Amino acid sequence: MKHLLPLFVLFGTSWCLRVIAQDTVSSPPMGCVNLVLQGRADNLISIPLLQEPVAIGHVLVVTSTTVTLDTSGWTINQYAPGATQSFYAEISTGQLKGLSYAVVSNTADTLTLNTGSNKLTQHRLGAVAVGDTVRIRPAWTVGTIFGMSDSDVALTPFPTLPTSLQADSGDSLLFFDSTAVGIRKTPSARLVYVQSTGWRAPSDGATDQEGYVLPPLSPVLVRLHNSTGQEVVVLGDAYQAPALLTLTGGNGTQANDSFVAVAQSEPVSLNNSGLANADSTQSLVKASSSTSQREDLLLAFDPTRKGFERPPEHIYFYLSGQGWEEVGSNSMTVGDNVFLDPAQIYVLRKRATSTSTDWKQNFTP
């Protein structure tokens, strides 16, 4: 069995704790992941676990951007974004199950959410309803994943704040603008760790970036210049089905690369991923009419390879009437033999004329 880019070892191994049984009604199972980061390389990763919820409630009232829950007694703005910690609301049941939105502010029982252009009452997938369950979870941050002090930071610190040009000579974290349309996207933000100072952007030495938020299933490019690499162990809740990711289409003239990750505790085959369907009206990936006229593509990178700004090692497409195939391969369909691994980021390249769709990952038990 061929695993795409086995970035980490998960559950029941020498590296990680076994799944911890919990009350399955109130909370999902817990586990851990060991992120193996290659030295002298770009490591494109995602965090496939969630932080444990700090509050759970059921919706009493919903507006386009707020939910009032049957829990009360919160301190005003205790879930508002802070310097080192932010929170988001995970909709756990109902038509919008799997969606998460950052908390902007709160009263004693009501959350105001950053829903962007979406509305909780008029979403393309439906609406939040009275009685739906909402979990409030802390967001993963740069500090909680990669360390908060000189003694536990996962990257090699800079002795002083580097300039933007100097930053590329050392270890750094790179981030991408999810709203930008285009292919082969370049990072839009960079953070470094400065000795005895903390996380900083090269252009801003005054602002502490320990609380920089890593949204669920979002990409982080860990650029390590040291030769030995690093390992980062993360503990948290396993994702529960379904999880939803928006696959952003092109703008009519330009194709678009969406970074995608698997909300799953174990690898899932391409055929079971839900990305493609023999029924073209139900398929998130547009089928290609021939091997020479390919439509949407899935790009995969090998995290065991050294180097920076590497091209993808594997490119997959869905051939109409056949199934998943790999560009440049002499083998027949690979949908049952190629697996998407958790913690790994893949790139889904949507054609210029494609529209945005939602990947509903319902393969987790």
Averaged pLDDT for residues 3-28: 37
How much is the pLDDT for 143? Answer: 97
Give the number of other Cβ atoms within 10 Å of residue 354's Cβ: 21
Q: Which segments within 65-155 are labelled E, that is strand?
A: 66-69, 87-91, 100-106, 110-114, 133-138, 140-141
DSSP code at position 163 = P
Supply 241's token pair.
């089905």
CATH topology classification for 52-138: Elongation Factor Tu (Ef-tu); domain 3 (2.40.30)
Mind listing the pLDDT tens digit for each residue in 86-139?
Answer: 999 999 999 999 899 999 999 999 999 999 989 999 998 899 999 999 999 999
How much is the pLDDT for 181? Answer: 95
Q: Which segments within 97-214 are labelled E, that is strand?
A: 100-106, 110-114, 133-138, 140-141, 172-175, 189-194, 198-200, 213-214
- Model confidence at 241, in pLDDT bands (50, 70, 90)? low
Averaged pLDDT for residues 130-152: 97
How much is the pLDDT for 159? Answer: 97
For 307, the 3-state DSSP assignment is: strand
Backbone angles phi, psi at 89, to 5 degrees: -100, 125
Mind listing the pLDDT tens digit for each residue in 281-307?
Answer: 889 999 999 999 999 999 999 988 999
For the chain, what is the mean pLDDT?
89
Do the beta carbons of residue 67 and residue 89 sit within 8 Å? Answer: yes
Residue 172: burial class (beta carbons within 10 Å; 0-12, 13-18, 19+): buried
Give the number of other Cβ atoms within 10 Å of residue 188's Cβ: 12
Do the beta carbons of residue 111 and residue 103 sit within 8 Å? Answer: yes
How much is the pLDDT for 30? Answer: 73
Mind listing the pLDDT tens digit for each residue in 50-64?
Answer: 999 999 999 999 999
> Considering Cα of 110, then 98, then 364, then 268, what sign does the dihedral take?
negative
Is pLDDT at 7 greater than 60 in this prediction? no
In angstroms, the Cα distances linking 341 to 6, 7, 132, 275, 344 are: 6, 7, 31, 14, 6
d(CA 93, CA 97): 5
Beta bridge partners of 299: 315, 347
Half-sphere exposure of 298 (CA within 13 A, CB side): 27
- Model confidence at 27, in pLDDT bands (50, 70, 90)? low
- Model confidence at 29, in pLDDT bands (50, 70, 90)? low
94 Ramachandran zone, left/alpha/beta (phi>0; psi -120 to 50) = left
- Model confidence at 10, in pLDDT bands (50, 70, 90)? very low
Mind listing the pLDDT tens digit for each residue in 191-239?
Answer: 999 999 999 999 999 999 999 999 999 999 999 998 888 999 999 998 8
How much is the pLDDT for 31? Answer: 76
Domain boundaries, the chain: 52-138, 239-361
How much is the pLDDT for 234? Answer: 92
- Model confidence at 9, in pLDDT bands (50, 70, 90)? very low
Shortest CA distance to 248 belongs to which of 122, 347, 130? 347
Supply 38's token pair.
């290659």
Q: Which segments within 288-352 are labelled E, that is strand?
A: 297-300, 314-319, 323-326, 338-340, 346-350
How much is the pLDDT for 266? Answer: 83
Do the beta carbons of residue 219 and residue 345 sit within 8 Å? Answer: yes
Residue 209: burial class (beta carbons within 10 Å; 0-12, 13-18, 19+): buried
Do the strands 133-138 and 55-62 form a parallel or antiparallel pair, or are they unpaired? antiparallel
Is pLDDT at 250 greater than 70 in this prediction? yes
Supply 72's token pair.
């009360």
d(CA 37, CA 8): 9
d(CA 193, CA 209): 9
Shortest CA distance to 70 belongs to which of 82, 54, 55, 81? 55
Is pLDDT at 1 greater than 60 in this prediction? no
In angstroms, the Cα distances linking 352 to 167, 182, 356 are: 34, 9, 11
